[in-house]
């Protein structure tokens, strides 16, 4: 065996030692990417699921925040990762539908540029108003808004919230002034102060503010009432059944991951959800793809009907 052959053989063996086969997976730490900043509602969810996965897999799971562009930055980065199961992503429909439906030339295709692993669940979104608004129910709010066209201000912290309001206004015939914010965090002081009259919010501290009487929760964007505020009706019960957009999240990997690794991760994510007790809604990889496809079609339809200009 000559020197060149020996070097080539050593190189191949080194590569083989460094890359785990599906049977050996996982043999090293896993990166768990989340496209939102620390402290947001997605961050603790990712960390709790990541901790459960680390215990189940007996390997470290390192949560890495890559915020920006409604999670599109993290999603685009994921499309370039090796499909070995050592980089996965917690993604909501901010990245997988909204960021795509609202752009002329999206940087990725959510249905072909990722490997779906499992649904995680649906976020609990409440519709809040400031107590200065003379309405204690959603129907009263709609009546007040109709009587005062263009005078009420609604705030949004993400594209999902924009679509919630588009559906609410188009289905009820109300007209409100839109003020966009770079996230729910910057929006909160203005709705607490009454400069913003209403908003769909996912932030947990909004629930505490509602219990203290500083905000008023009029409806929840779920198909059944939330145990967090069980007295608050669903959006359909409250009188706006046409508001059908829902926020969901799932775990995705880069494209073309081996099926054996996908099945292992799917099993472990679903087990982590059972332990976590998230409004858990695990799924098969195919189930997550179906949810993503249906949601993307809905978003594109709503964006087109509402005449929202594409970025």
Q: Average pLDDT over the chain, rounded to whole? A: 87
Please name which of 273, 281, 267 lies closest in space to residue 122, comparing C-alpha atoms: 281
pLDDT at 280: 60
pLDDT at 19 over 60: no
Helix (H, G, I), strand (E, B) or coil at 221: coil
Quote the percentage of the chain above a pLDDT of 90. 62
Least trusted range by pLDDT, from 59-73, 178-192, 253-267, 276-290? 276-290
Both tokens of 43, joined, read 């961050």
What would the pLDDT profile of 141-153 be if each residue is shown by its tens digit? 999 999 999 999 9
Q: Given pLDDT bands bounded at 50, 70 and 90, which one contains residue 246? A: confident
Helix (H, G, I), strand (E, B) or coil at 3: helix
What would the pLDDT profile of 90-102 be if each residue is shown by its tens digit? 999 889 998 899 8
Contact present, 129 and 215 (Cβ < 8 Å) = yes
CA–CA dist 238, 254 (Å, integer)? 40
pLDDT at 247: 86
Q: What is the largest CA-CA distance in the chain?
A: 89
pLDDT at 9 over 50: no
CA–CA dist 16, 252 (Å, integer)? 25
In the sheet where 216-220 sits, what is the strand order? 177-180, 153-156, 198-201, 126-129, 216-220
Contact present, 93 and 252 (Cβ < 8 Å) = no
Please name the helix (run of DSSP H) or strand (run of DSSP E) that holds residue 127, with its range, or none.
Answer: strand 126-129
Integer angstrom CA distances of residue 284 from 46, 252, 280, 289? 19, 12, 13, 9
Please name the helix (run of DSSP H) or strand (run of DSSP E) that holds residue 93, with its range, or none.
Answer: helix 93-93
Please name the helix (run of DSSP H) or strand (run of DSSP E) that holds residue 284, with its range, or none.
Answer: none
pLDDT at 235: 96
Please name which of 209, 244, 204, 234 lies closest in space to residue 138, comparing C-alpha atoms: 234
What would the pLDDT profile of 177-204 be if each residue is shown by its tens digit? 999 987 788 899 999 999 999 999 986 7
pLDDT at 33: 96
Contact present, 274 and 220 (Cβ < 8 Å) = no
Q: In the chain, what is the straight-line distance between the N-terminal and C-terminal CA atoms, in Å? A: 60
CA–CA dist 63, 61 (Å, integer)? 6
Positions of E strands within 136-247: 153-156, 177-180, 198-201, 216-220
pLDDT at 210 over 70: yes
Sign of CA dihedral 59, 65, 71, 76: negative
pLDDT at 4 over 70: no
Q: Cβ of 59: how many Cβ atoms within 10 Å?
A: 16
pLDDT at 201: 92
Q: Given pLDDT bands bounded at 50, 70 and 90, which one contains residue 157? A: confident
Contact present, 180 and 162 (Cβ < 8 Å) = yes
Helix (H, G, I), strand (E, B) or coil at 281: coil
Least trusted range by pLDDT, from 38-47, 193-202, 247-256? 38-47
Q: What is the pTM of this model?
A: 0.78
All residues at 6 or more sequence positions from 165 whose CB lies less than 8 Å from its CB, including other chains:
154, 156, 176, 178, 200
pLDDT at 16 over 80: no
pLDDT at 277 over 80: no
């Amino acid at each position: 065996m000559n020197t060149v052959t020996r070097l080539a053989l050593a190189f191949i063996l080194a590569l083989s030692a460094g890359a785990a086969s599906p049977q050996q997976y996982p043999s090293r730490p896993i990166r768990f990417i989340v496209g939102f900043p620390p402290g947001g509602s997605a961050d603790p969810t990712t960390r709790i699921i990541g901790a459960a996965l680390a215990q189940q897999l007996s390997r470290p799971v390192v949560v890495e925040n890559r915020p920006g562009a409604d999670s599109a930055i993290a999603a685009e980065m994921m499309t370039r990762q090796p499909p070995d199961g050592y980089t996965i992503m917690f993604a909501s429909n901010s990245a997988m539908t909204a960021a795509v439906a609202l752009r002329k030339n999206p940087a990725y295709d959510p249905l072909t540029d990722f490997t779906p692993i499992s649904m995680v669940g649906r976020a609990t979104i409440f519709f809040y108003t400031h107590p200065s608004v003379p309405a204690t129910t959603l129907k009263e709010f709609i009546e007040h808004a109709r009587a005062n066209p263009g005078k009420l201000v609604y705030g949004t912290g993400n594209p999902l919230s924009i679509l919630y309001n588009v559906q609410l206004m188009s289905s009820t015939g109300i007209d409100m002034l839109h003020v966009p914010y770079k996230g729910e965090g910057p929006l909160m002081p203005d709705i607490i102060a009454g400069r913003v009259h209403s908003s769909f919010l996912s932030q947990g501290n909004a629930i505490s503010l509602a219990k203290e009487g500083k905000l008023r929760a009029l409806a929840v964007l779920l198909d059944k009432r939330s145990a967090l505020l069980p007295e608050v009706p669903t959006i359909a019960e409250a009188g706006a059944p046409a508001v059908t957009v829902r926020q969901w999240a799932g775990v995705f990997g880069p494209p073309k991951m081996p099926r054996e690794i996908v099945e292992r991760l799917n099993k472990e994510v679903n087990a982590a959800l059972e332990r976590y007790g998230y409004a858990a809604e695990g799924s098969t990889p195919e189930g997550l793809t179906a949810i993503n496809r249906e949601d993307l079609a809905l978003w594109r339809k709503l964006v087109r009907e509402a005449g929202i200009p594409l970025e």
